[in-house]
Copies of this chain bind each other. A is one copy, B any other.
Amino acid sequence: MEKILEQTLLYDFYGELLTEHQKAVYSDVVFNDYSLSEVAEEYDISRQGVHDLIKRCNAILTGYEDKLHLVEKFMDAKKMVGEINDLTKKFFDTGDSECVRRIDEISNDMLKIF
């Protein structure tokens, strides 16, 4: 997975477990694309301090995913919902009820995972 996408997902899921300060600095660097120097000045810390904080936050967020695997679980579910959505389009294109049979199968599998 691309690093920025992975960071976004991890932050979406576990970001609330960071401190307010960590969230603010992390967001500015990773999502708002400020430079380390700009952020260092803004929060009155050293560039190295900003760098260490980002590294630490990435480790914290990855640590939660390593234990809980909830991003992974959600991504699997999202993929299956995408398949269901494609199958409804295919049904309206072709009228093939096999599409609905497959939707039934996927939704059954999902209910087992959940």
Q: How many copies does the complex hold?
A: 2
Most buried by B among A64, A85, A89, A108: A85
Instruction: Please give the distance in Å from A80's CB to the nearest CB on chain B.
Output: 9
Return the contact of A85 from the options B68, B88, B99, B108 (Cβ within 8 A). B108
Say what secondary structure dominates the interface of chain A. helix
Q: Is A16 an interface residue (CB 8 A)?
A: yes
**A77-B77, A92-B100 are known contacts. Are A85 and B107 too (CB-CB below 8 A)?**
yes
Chain A contributes a number of interface residues (CB within 8 A of B) equal to 30
Q: B89 and A110: CB pair below 8 A?
A: no
Name the B residues within 8 Å of A107 (CB-CB): 81-82, 84-85, 88
Instruction: Please give the distance in Å from A62's CB to the nearest CB on chain B.
Output: 14
